[in-house]
Amino acid sequence: MATTAASSEDGICPEIALIEKLAAGGTEPASASEEDAAPEAGNPVIDEWKTRPDVMRWAAVKPDLGAVSLKPYLFVIKDRKNYLGAAAPLPPKLAALLERLLGGEMSAKGALADVKGLNLPEAVLLFDALRKKVREVSNFDLRPAAMPGVAVVVECHPPLQGRYVDILEALPPDRVGLWVASGHAFVTEAAPKARIATLREKWRKATKNQLLRTELEPKKPARGGRAHGNV
């Protein structure tokens, strides 16, 4: 919720309104038209929340927050990593996969087949657990240990490409290391790729690291050849 609210212009997390409707009306939104219900269908976040009694109890509490900007409240949890990490424990299968994905580049790549076998709601849970590990890092000069695992999950489940860019956008632009200049080739959809291109320019302008600035400079095509972009 906090990540969605922070990245939206109006500070609203649309999934809150959807889960509040479900909590008010049982298995279906209380007074929603077919158009209102359509965004809920196939939403992996809602699919996962519906299975959690604690979330459903919370969503039934008044007043509703679905149309409220949460940005004024984000400071409360901004540096409270314990609160951000206090989600329900992962199922044993996902917890075991998380350990492998946090074990380094080779270990993460070795889990690729198992990650590919997850359904999307499971992949979302695993992705969120890895994202929390990235948030706990204080020094981004080096690639966070969770990022190889994040890359594997997103490579296996392309619908998460936008969420991957959300992680990159949350990095402090003046304190990132050389690792951000490459390693995003698994992002293939047009909109996330465009966001990464914008981010590269933001990092290039913000960093005082000359090596990183040079690496982020647009590559000129070689004489008689074509440019090779490295995203």
Q: Hey, what are 85's tokens?
A: 């990490």
| Alpha carbon distance 168, 159 (integer Å) | 16
Is the pLDDT confidence value at 96 over 50? yes
| Threshold 0.85, pTM exceeds | no
* Per-residue pLDDT reduced to its tens digit, 160-206: 999 999 999 999 888 889 999 999 999 999 999 999 999 999 998 88
- 31: Cβ–Cβ under 8 A, 6 or more apart, which residues? 21, 25
